[in-house]
Amino acid sequence: MPYILNKYYPVRNIIFFLGEGLLIFLTINVVYLAFTGWQLFLDQLFLDALRALVVTIIFQLSLYFFDLYDLSWVTTPLDTFIRMVQAFGSAASSWPESTTLIPPW
């Protein structure tokens, strides 16, 4: 039984959280690769991975704070869509401020 900070989390939620995080991380890296090309992407692999990690953390925190990881709460598709748009909007508005913390080398 997985306990994190003395709170029980079902294995299904942990797998969902990690899978979604991996999907966000890989998507951001593919976008960096598409915009910069192989050579520049490989030269700045650590920096691009760090930026993708920051974006992944921001989006997962916003999804968590808008209760999109609570799979036991039965809602309508419209309510889920509204909460998802709000979560993406708040993450997108905090994304530029966080990326200024990483210098563009």
pLDDT tens for each residue of 49-70? 988 998 899 888 888 777 766 6
Q: What is the pLDDT of residue 21?
A: 93
Measure the CA–CA gap between 2 and 98, rounded to whole angstroms.
31
pTM of the predicted model as reported, rounded to 2 decimal places: 0.76
Q: State the average pLDDT over residues 14-26.
A: 91
Q: What is the pLDDT of residue 103?
A: 65
In the three-class reduction of DSSP (H, G, I as helix; E, B as strand; rest coil), residue 69 is classed as: coil
HSE of 32, CA atoms in CB hemisphere, 13 A: 22
The dihedrals phi and psi of 44, each to the nearest 5 degrees, come to -110, 35
